[in-house]
Amino acid sequence: MTLAWFLIRRVLTGIVVLWAVASGTFFLFFARPVQTVAHQLAGRTATPAVIQNVINQLGLNQPIMTQYWHFLGRLLHGNLGYSFFTQESVNTMIKQDLPPTASLVVGGVILWLIAGLGVGILSATRARSLFDRGSTVLVLIGLSMPVFVVGELLIVAVFVPLNQHGLTWIQTQYAGPSQGLGAWSGHMLLPWISLAVVQAAIYTRLMRGQLLTTLGEDYIRTARAKGLSERRVIFTHGVRAALTPVVSQLGIDIGQLLGGVVVIEVVFGLQGLGQVAVAAIYQDDLPVIIGFVLVAAAFVVVANIVVDLVYTVLDPRVRIA
């Protein structure tokens, strides 16, 4: 099967997933009595006249399937609708609030992969050494620390002292790449570290265990018997095979990142998509909720496509199918 056909199949599958997620969210919200939905949107103190006006404006008096088809029609045209409370376009809200969230996710993933895989490989190749035992202690500390605690500690221990000494390179407000790589990395460094600490600990433990198991396989002993250098045995044969389950875990974690991202955004005041989603959930703001859910589902779909492609690179026995 060619790569193009594989991508077409995965994209079509992803579209089905996004449709199912959006439909589930829609029916979860609207599969209730019209008056209940309208009363939630209008507020607790709304008069019957205001509630009726909400019903008429949003078309809640139409059959549920009619509302659903209208909803799907808007999605097909890329229109996520307008916030029930601010009347702002959801498309605009996502465009404005997605960059901090995307920057946080991408930077955090890169940082925890570098730290987690690097320490895991060194621990596996130096099993039961002082470094291995020390990294085990650090892993346990990392696994025990909630992300918001790490973020608060970094603000107190790093950001505040630097500001007191006039060193303002590290900030807690978002600055995009367009403002310069230095400003962008400086603004995002503490959030990246906060997000990466716990995940780096998980990946250190996972990589160490997988690499130790792989280095005990017969083909590794055969490679050493052939006279290959230890570096080539470890990185060409051992690490490559051990990365397969790590990649699987990465595909799952990227889809679940938004939960941790919400906490980090609140701690550092990044004003990203997570904070907007939390406010929308409290308000039952359906268009914003659906927009957030679709973005999260898109993260999962894209991550799993990338994981499937990486599999074929790491393991020649895996074929695109």
The model's pLDDT over 151-193, given as tens digits with 9 standing for 90+, comes to 888 888 877 777 776 665 555 556 666 666 766 777 788 888 8
Give the model's pLDDT for residue 28: 78
Tell me, what amino acid is at 4?
Answer: A
Tell me, what amino acid is at 197?
Answer: V
Comparing CA positions, the residue from 32, 40, 38 lying closest to residue 281 is: 40
Asked if the model's pLDDT at residue 260 lies above 70, the reply is: no
Q: Which domains does the chain have, with CATH numbers?
A: 17-76 (no CATH), 98-314 (1.10.3720.10)
Range from 80-89, 126-135, 244-253, 296-305 that averages highest in pLDDT: 126-135
Tell me, what amino acid is at 18?
Answer: L
Mean pLDDT for the chain? 79
What are the phi and psi torsion angles at 263 (to 5°)?
-65, -45
- Rounded to 5°, the CA angle 50-55-57 comes to 90
Q: What is the mean pLDDT of residues 135-161?
A: 80
Asked if the model's pLDDT at residue 275 lies above 60, the reply is: yes
Asked if the model's pLDDT at residue 130 lies above 70, the reply is: yes
Longest CA–CA span in the chain (Å) reads 85
Tokens of 62: 């139409």
**pTM of the prediction?**
0.77
What are the phi and psi torsion angles at 257 (to 5°)?
-65, -30
Segment 235-240 long-range contacts (CB within 8 Å, at least 24 positions apart): 238/211, 238/214, 239/121, 239/211, 240/314, 240/315
Give the model's pLDDT for residue 258: 66
Does residue 74 or residue 55 have the better pLDDT?
A: 74
Region of poorest pLDDT, from 97-111, 202-216, 234-248, 274-288: 274-288
What are the phi and psi torsion angles at 84 (to 5°)?
-65, -20
What distance in Å separates the CA atoms of residue 232 and residue 234, rounded to the nearest whole number?
5
Residue indicated by tokens 């990338």: 306
Asked if the model's pLDDT at residue 233 lies above 70, the reply is: yes
Residues with Cβ < 8 Å from 202, sequence gap 6 or more? 116, 142, 143, 249
